[in-house]
Amino acid sequence: MLKFKEPNWERNPEFALIDTVLEEHPELIRMMKDDVCRGSAESNFGRQDTPSVEQIVRGAIYKQLRNIDYADFEGHQDDSKICETFLKLDRKIFSEKTWQKYIARISGDSLDKLMVSLNKIAIGLGYEDLKKIVEDSTVVETNIHYPTNNSLMWDCIKESHRLLSHLKEEIDTIDYRNYMVDAKKTYFKINNTKCEDKRVKLFKKQLVNFTKAINQLSNVVKKKLIFGAINVKTMALTMEIKDFLPIMQQVHSITVRHEINKEKVPNEEKIFSIYERHTDIIVKGKRDVQFGHKVDLVGGRSHLILGVAIAKGNPGDTTFYQDATDKIINDYGIVPESSVTDGGYASLKNQEHAKSVGIKNIVFNKIVGSLKNIASSKNMETRLKKWRSSIEAIISNLKRGFDLRRCMWKGRAHFDQKVYWSVIGYNIRVITAHFLKALTGGDGVAVAAVT
């Protein structure tokens, strides 16, 4: 039986529920094992110096439900009784670096499977029936400042200086010049200059500093074999410099084309951050430009998020519809009776595809031209249109409750992980709300299946 009668669990129903689910469904833990154990030898002997796979999965769930960072998480192991119990800790406290190392190994694909598996449990309990689905997209920003050619050049010059200074610590014989002082002055002058002719002159001046910085890094790569004693750190820095050079050259090329030659550079050829290179530029309608990734979400009438797709580039909403519909059917083995989206998904091809897979009511909130919604009655169409706004509430809840407006995790793989962990945390919260309602007889759903 769920441990709701015990004080710690009663005050933390989400942990009580997911603790029971994980104990009753050990296959959920096994799904993560290959990712967590990748590159590590697992031992069942002696005292364990690293968390078990189950503890790592539980730790990631705890961290998301509490919405805390790794530093706070380390403290919770010692200060929180529910944390100690939920993670099944046996006196051993693991460091934040240990948790981060192993949680970061769990891929977005594995998390997608975990999300679907948890949703199937909710479907089995009667909380979701998949009779109708709603779809919408949103933008999750990456953790970057607003990109301009001026700021990108300045970032590159700073980064090149950082790399060379670290290399200097390892190899005394390296000589390099610091172009940051002059570059910083020019950077601020460009920011505060509105006259186009003066801006072009300042950009040309900054490009001279930038070219010198590029040449310094290039010389380091060419001379790497004559440095004498080369250690692991030196080799790593040299490789980092080698990888960074093409980025600097790309920024140089874009700046010359746009600021000097006044050429319009296509978005796909641009770079928006030297730190988060996977960042896309997203323009939705007439709204402000955003930098991050477009995330497509499919919800059910239980308010669970049933499907997630993270796009590359800035595709139109219409491109998500068919794949999202097919994935819902393949993942859950159920064909929804009704589908509703906003007008951005409306197209004859999407409508025909929905009909071909067996969806009966296909409603787009706004339609243009000769396209007409398909519904069993006018009342059904109206009800679906009104219900469509529920996905906006889901997105708002997801972003506010799990801090998903802006992803602070670094790299594209970690971006995907953050989105999926946030969705899983949100879904656990929704399932718990349904369970508590059922437990008190709120909707008459039987709870014997989880006891």
Tokens of 29: 């833990």
pTM: 0.91
Q: Which residues contact 2 (CB under 8 A, 6 or more apart)?
A: 9, 16, 17, 20, 450, 451
What pLDDT does 100 receive?
A: 94
CB–CB of 29/22 below 8 Å? yes
In this predicted structure, the answer to whether residue 138 has a pLDDT above a threshold of 80 is: yes
Q: Which residues contact 356 (CB under 8 A, 6 or more apart)?
A: none
Other residues' Cβ atoms within 10 Å of the Cβ of residue 30 = 11
What pLDDT does 48 receive?
A: 56
* Residue 235 pLDDT class (50, 70, 90 cuts): confident
In this predicted structure, the answer to whether residue 98 has a pLDDT above a threshold of 80 is: yes
Residue the block writes with tokens 């004693």:
229
What pLDDT does 11 receive?
A: 86
> Region 225-250: what's the mean pLDDT?
81
What pLDDT does 445 receive?
A: 42
CA atoms of 12 and 9, how far apart (whole Å): 5
CA atoms of 35 and 53, how far apart (whole Å): 9
> Region 140-148: what's the mean pLDDT?
95
CA atoms of 101 and 117, how far apart (whole Å): 25
What pLDDT does 164 receive?
A: 93
How does the average pLDDT of the chain come out, rounded?
Answer: 90
Please write the tens of the pLDDT for every residue from 349-390: 999 999 999 999 999 998 878 899 999 999 999 999 999 999
Other residues' Cβ atoms within 10 Å of the Cβ of residue 46 = 6
What pLDDT does 40 receive?
A: 63
> Region 402-431: what's the mean pLDDT?
95
CB–CB of 296/137 below 8 Å? yes
What pLDDT does 451 receive?
A: 36
Tokens of 334: 């159920």
In this predicted structure, the answer to whether residue 416 has a pLDDT above a threshold of 70 is: yes
Please write the tens of the pLDDT for every residue from 30-50: 999 999 988 665 545 444 568
Q: Would you call 341 helix, strand, or coil by DSSP?
A: strand
> Region 332-351: what's the mean pLDDT?
95
C-alpha dihedral sign at 261, 142, 100, 80: positive
